[in-house]
Chain A
Amino acid sequence: MSTMTAPAPAVEAVNLQKRFGQIHAVDGIDLALSPGRIYGLLGPNGSGKTTLIRLLTGLAHASGGEARILGTKMPSRKALGTIGYMPQAEALYPELSVGENLGFFARLESHADRSSIERVLDLVELRDRKGTPALELSGGMRRRLSLAVTLVHEPEVLFLDEPTVGVDPALRVQFWTHFRRLAAQGTTILVASHVMDEADRCDELLFVRSGKVIGQGTGAELRARAGTDNLEAAFLVLSGLDPEGNPIEPRADGAPGEGESIGGGGPMAGGGRPGAVL
């Protein structure tokens, strides 16, 4: 089920690059994410997931290539109104209450009606904490508030950077139920994660390593392509490692994962960080 045939991608990247000095944090990524689908962005720490999201949202300037959101080239202030971005950091005002944090960001999005705020408060189950300063919330509650802030203006495209870190399993299920509902309403969602059991909740996965997409497809497709029955092993194999994370010797010339997926491809930089992948 290739996304290439989808008519108008909600999120597009063409040869997107970001260099920090000698480091290629994002190394020529091409993407076309269809509306109303949930994409999982999987890769080890430092693989370029966050940089990719920052390029797509226009928070970082690309060193090369371009990103488009709903057809608008980024960075674009206008397009930002259609984006919801949940950063990895909590990014809340600790001295403001739950309601005040929500109200503040809602006003910046010109979306400060009471019903929007009540809706997201219910969603993250923080209605009874509305007056509590963010400072006094538990880690999981702050995560929930951070998500609520991201959703308050009903964005069409959602970028969630590790949204469920520190969220208990029951609430995590609820988060995903809601993501699924948003997708059904047409919201495009890109979730960066390294939690494998979440990966299978996504419609499609993007494996990222060293700033490149090394595989794209459904979980089942990626597993089949790697010839393994679990995603973690699939990632390692597509990274050019064996299922235990050891470099394959002699190294294969063509990366095993290179297939019909967009972008990525090419021999992987060998050596990586065996065992520390996900």
Chain B
Amino acid sequence: MSPSRILAIARRIAQGFRRDERTLGLMFVVPLVVTALLGWVLKDTKDTVVDVVIVNEAGAVGDRVVTALTDAAKQPDSDIALTATVATEDEAVAHIRDGTGDIAIVIPSDLLATVQAGQRPTLTVISAGTDPAAETGRFGTLQGVLADIASQLAPPGVTPPVIPQVERKTVYLSPDASQVDVLAPIFLGFFGYFFVFLLTGISFLRERIGGTLERLLATPVTRFEIVTGYSLGFGTFATIQVIVLTLFILNSIDVPSFDLPAIGQHTPAFSLGLGVASAGSPFLAFAIALLLSLGAVNLGIFLSTFARTELQVIQFIPLVIVPQALLSGILWPIERLPDVLQAIAHVLPLTYAVEGLREVMLKGSDLSTTVVQTDLLVLGGIALFFVALASATIKREVA
């Protein structure tokens, strides 16, 4: 072992960094940006107001709950707002579907009788069921308010104050939906985006540094032809990827246990695929994921302009991917982000893809839904924007 040889190697790396300012910059800047962003999101996440809908089946007794809730909502720092009082569950569900209510609480007709009999009443709570994490938070907020109200409304002589049992219902999915069901749409959007961006970025960078782009440009090919050809080529593979991923997410094949006599063991039984039920059209989900991927192809071409080596393309991952993962509504609902970050979220393609995929796969929306239409249009617009951007970076002059 020669220390001087070891030092020579270490020195060689330091010398390389000195010439590669971009890598050096990214090495320090990227983690700072990403960490700062994460810190910002975590610190400044807003407590949003929970829009409550009350289904009053209990008449006058229920009115007292409504009044108490109304008073609670009027408190200056109240976390709840009472959006409507309706008579049936169906009406409450309609509010949740159209977004005017986050959570509905059903006051049963037998409330008074149950309480007077000294039993715990059962309250039904209805939520959308598409975002368990957010809904659990809202439910916690509501529960705190309800506990206060219950102690106020408790009939004299009933001690301790009754704490209602809660039965959860959801508008979409089931109340016991696993995290997988809810995250499936995100897998579809996220992986398509990520891999396509990475592959195109590296592939196009190789054209730039290997001289083939220069050679292409010495033929009568146009920039638009290059970008469109790339979109078609990588788009084809993105399509196959999205199809495979969609099939894996939506289907499940049970693989039975096999005996392996040679070693006297048997393989464990398992199932292949997630078996998530898509409420809406798999084709529509596929279309959303594909539009997202086409944007990623051209984003890759565009960003390859700013890289000199393949290593640098890889360094763009945290810059391109992490903010989208943090801000596009995957981890936190967008409306709970600080205002500035909300504005950023609304220019990120993944935001629209996640929203659209959730809409289609979880809520079963189809093309007639405004949200889905908007998401498709925006994603198409973003893809076109990146096509233009990518074209602009392919100049006849490749310095």
Binding site for B on A (CB under 8 A): 57-61, 75, 77-78, 80-81, 83, 85, 87-94, 105, 108-110, 149
Contact = CB atoms under 8 A, between A and B. Distances in A.
A83 B396 contact: no
Nearest to A79: B220
A133 B217 CA distance: 23
Nearest to B217: A59
A61 B216 CA distance: 17
A192 B73 CA distance: 82
B220 A89 contact: no
Interface string B193-226: 0000000000000000011101111111110000
Contacts of A108: 216, 219-221
The secondary structure that dominates the B interface is loop
Given A91-B211, A93-B212, A85 B218 contact: yes
Given A91-B212, A149-B215, A109 B220 contact: yes
A58 B217 CA distance: 9
B215 A105 contact: yes
A91 B210 contact: yes
B219 A87 contact: no
A88 B396 CA distance: 17
Given A57-B218, A91-B210, 10 more contacts: A77-B222, A80-B218, A83-B218, A85-B215, A87-B218, A91-B211, A91-B215, A105-B219, A108-B219, A108-B220
A123 B294 CA distance: 41
A87 B396 contact: no
A89 to B, nearest CB: 3
B215 A81 contact: no
B206 to A, nearest CB: 9
B397 interface: yes
B222 A59 contact: no
Nearest to B218: A85
The secondary structure that dominates the A interface is loop
Contacts, number: 54
Interface string B295-315: 000000000000000000000
A124 to B, nearest CB: 16
A59 B218 contact: yes
B398 interface: yes
A85 B214 CA distance: 10
Given A92-B212, A93-B212, A78 B218 contact: no
B393 to A, nearest CB: 15
A110 B219 CA distance: 10
Contacts of B399: 60
Nearest to A109: B219
A210 to B, nearest CB: 20
Contacts of B217: 59
A77 B399 CA distance: 18
Interface in B370-399: 396-399
Nearest to A153: B219
Contacts of A57: 218
Interface in B212-247: 212, 214-222
B398 A59 contact: yes
16 contacts: A57-B218, A60-B396, A60-B397, A61-B396, A80-B220, A81-B219, A83-B218, A85-B218, A87-B214, A89-B210, A90-B211, A91-B214, A93-B212, A108-B216, A109-B219, A110-B220
A25 B398 CA distance: 15
Contacts of B221: 108
